[in-house]
Amino acid sequence: MRQCYVKLSGILLVFVASLSMLQAAPPEVPKEIKATPGQLVRITVKTDKKIGTAKNFADEDGFFGELVAPTGQRQFVFQPPIQNAKSSYVLTFWTEGELEGSTCTITLSGVVPPTPPNPPVPPDPPTPPPIVSSFRVIFIWESMSTLTAQQNSVINGVDMANFLNSKTTKSGVDKGWRLKDKDSPVNNDTPIINELWSSVKGQITSTTPIPCVAVEVNGKVEIINLKNTQAEMIAEFKKYIGEK
Amino acid sequence: MPNMYKGNIPILEDFGTKRTDLTHPKGMTFGLVPRDYSVDPETMLAGPDSIQTIDPSEWDARYDEQEATQSSLEHVFLRGGQPAFVNLDQNGDGDCWAYSTGHSKMFTYLRDQMPVPRLNPHFIATYLKRYNGGWCGASMQVITDVGCCEEGNGPDQWPLHSHSIGLMNQTRLAAAAKNRVTENVYDLTRQVWDQELTSKQLATCGFNNIPSPSDFNWWGHSVCQVRWVRIERGSWGPLIINSWKNWGRYGLAVLRGSQAIADGAVACRY
């Protein structure tokens, strides 16, 4: 019995001694290193054992690498970014066989806080469309001059007719647009058109290009050039009534 | 050769002395009397010397452009699938020479987007006291100087198909004046011109949306040219509107051949 106990104690001591040899200590590292943005710092880890590392930042947020070191130590470098650096970075080192690890905190001074994004600029409030109480059009031509095919299309085309029929201001069922020879009298149409035509004729001079177009909006009359296509002419009319 | 324009407007052929149901339907009257130059001389109407005629080499492009943009008088008249108005009806009286002019004035109103009154060309014949026929230039002279009443039974209107001279009074003359053709009318078919020039002038008026009353001696009839149309490649003729009820397509037909050139024609500007 006594021989077994001694043998058993020996085994126990050897086991305890073996356990002590297997449980390694965390590596010795500086607890804190002060740095500035962009500054390269060296971290010396005193150990000759295998170690593992960890960091609390992504690769693109700071440079972390290892140098060739003398025996008995490991040397690492860290460099924070110049701009948009954090205020601190944490590096962790483990010795093989231990779980506690040692941390080294790189504390930065002179960190410029990131520029906040430009606040969104509120868009300009849209210009309210003009209130159109009346919109009338008179195409002016010389009936015995030969129109070009294009001019005839702009004045008499179906797209133009559909647009003007829907957009010009009617007087009852009477349309709000006309085609008039530049010499047409001012008394053979409806009263509203007669009045408008009288105003338009007063603006026609010897230099007014014929054919042309008179546009009336809210009582104001303007004579403009005939465009090359129905689409262009319609687009021009839309400007007068605040449409796109 | 096609016998229909666009599939639904009849084409009147070069008939010579032939008569058909289309050219001489039963019961229809005519009324054209060839122009008497001793009564209506060459100079009674202005010559279109200032018209820049459109050369035949351009006709195809012009016609195609009008078709693409639906911008001819034919299109304006038929816009929306229905005619803008029912064609006038001369009924049993030989007043075609006045009706062709009445139609032309109505077409100028239509072209210019004005309200279109239904005119009564019996007023014109009655004013001239001409009940045995005439030619389009004579009626155009009246509608230029005097005008034309609207059709109706009101005190300022002219009753349908009436030749009652007793109705001619100041009230009706004043109302007629509202429908005057107000600018110079051009004579497109002077004797001194050949048919080629007449064709060019009529074609130009057609492409410019100028309606043209036109007389055809072979037909003994006067109608209004609405447009100059391509029947098929290389073949052209006037699209006309007749003053016969329930004839053609909404009163429309196309003339083709050598007899499609008017013997008398005038241009109704506005």
Q: What is the pLDDT of residues B238-254, one digit of tens each?
A: 999 999 999 999 999 99
Interface of B to A at Cβ within 8 Å reads 48, 50-54, 61-62, 65-66, 68-72, 75-76, 79, 111-115, 178, 180, 182-183, 186, 204, 207-210, 267, 269-270
pLDDT of B88: 98
Instruction: Give contacts of B52 with chain A, Cβ < 8 Å.
Output: 145-146
DSSP calls for B194-230 = -HHHHHHHHHHHHHTT--EEEEETTTTEEEEEEEEEE
pLDDT of B16: 63
Whether ipTM tops 0.85, in short, is: yes
Q: What is the pLDDT of residues A169-193, one digit of tens each?
A: 999 889 999 999 999 999 999 999 9
CA B73 remoteness from chain centre:
13
Contact assessment for residue B183 and residue B266, using Cβ atoms and an 8 Å cutoff: no
Query: CB B113 to CB A143 under 8 A?
Result: no
Q: Which residue of A has its CA nearest to B75?
A: A158
Mean pLDDT rounded to a whole number for chain B: 90
Q: Which residue of B has its CA nearest to A150?
A: B65
Say whether residue A48 is in contact with chain B using an 8 A CB cutoff. Answer: no
CA A214, A220, A222, A228 dihedral sign is negative
Give the residue among A162, A108, A168, A114 at the shortest CA–CA distance from A137: A168
Say whether residue A145 is in contact with chain B using an 8 A CB cutoff. Answer: yes
Q: At A36, is the pLDDT very low, low, confident or very high (cuts 50, 70, 90)?
A: very high
Alpha-carbon distance B34 to B137, whole Å?
11
Q: At A72, is the pLDDT very low, low, confident or very high (cuts 50, 70, 90)?
A: confident
CA of A238 to nearest chain B CA: how many angstroms apart? Answer: 20
Report the share of chain A in percent with pLDDT over 90. Answer: 66
Q: What is the pTM of this model?
A: 0.75
Instruction: Kindly list the distances between the CA atom of residue A90 and the CA atoms of A64, A105, B75, B118, B178, in Å, as whole numbers in the listed order.
Output: 11, 4, 84, 98, 100
CA of B159 to nearest chain A CA: how many angstroms apart? Answer: 22
Instruction: Give contacts of B207 with chain A, Cβ < 8 Å.
Output: 146, 149, 152
DSSP calls for B113-178 = T-----B-THHHHHHHT--S-B-HHHHHHHHHHT--PBBSSSTTSB-TT---GGG--HHHHHHHHT
End-to-end CA distance of chain B, in Å?
A: 36
Considering only the beta carbons, identify the residue of B66, B112, B115 that sits closest to A152: B66
Question: SS3 sequence, A50-114?
Answer: CEEEEECCCHHHCEEEEECCCCCEEEEEEECCCCCCCCEEEEEEEECCCCCCEEEEEEECCCCCC
Q: If residue A5 lies in a helix (H) or strand (E), which one and from where to where?
A: helix A2-22
Mean pLDDT rounded to a whole number for chain A: 88
Neighbour count for residue A14 (Cβ, 10 Å): 10
Q: Is pLDDT at A229 greater than 90 in this prediction?
A: yes
Query: CB A150 to CB B62 under 8 A?
Result: no
Query: CB B75 to CB A158 under 8 A?
Result: yes
Instruction: Give contacts of A159 with chain B, Cβ < 8 Å.
Output: 69
CA of A152 to nearest chain B CA: how many angstroms apart? Answer: 7
Give the residue among B145, B173, B141 at the shortest CA–CA distance from B158: B173
Q: Is pLDDT at A133 greater than 80 in this prediction?
A: yes
Instruction: Give contacts of A150 with chain B, Cβ < 8 Å.
Output: 65
Tens digit of pLDDT at every position of chain B (270 positions)? 788 999 999 998 866 666 677 787 877 888 888 877 787 777 666 676 667 889 999 999 999 999 999 999 999 999 989 999 999 999 889 999 999 999 999 999 999 999 999 999 999 999 999 998 999 988 998 999 999 999 999 999 999 999 999 999 999 999 999 999 987 667 776 665 555 668 888 999 999 999 999 999 889 999 999 999 999 999 999 999 999 999 999 999 999 987 788 888 888 888
Instruction: Give contacts of A177 with chain B, Cβ < 8 Å.
Output: 113
Beta pairing class for A32-35 and A102-108 = parallel
Beta pairing class for A73-79 and A63-67 = antiparallel
Query: CB B79 to CB A161 under 8 A?
Result: yes
Alpha-carbon distance B59 to A153, whole Å?
15
Q: What secondary structure letter does DSSP report for B45? A: S
Residue A41 identity (one-letter amino acid): V
| Residue B131 CB contacts under 8 Å (≥ 6 apart), including other chains | B93, B94, B125, B163
| CA trace torsion B55, A150, A225, A194 (10° rounding) | 80
Alpha-carbon distance B195 to B263, whole Å?
9
Edge-to-edge order in the sheet of strand A212-217 = A177-181, A135-141, A212-217, A220-225
Alpha-carbon distance A176 to A239, whole Å?
17
Considering only the beta carbons, identify the residue of A149, A155, A181 that sits closest to B270: A181
Instruction: Give contacts of B79 with chain A, Cβ < 8 Å.
Output: 158, 161
Query: CB A146 to CB B208 under 8 A?
Result: yes
B193 SS3 class: coil
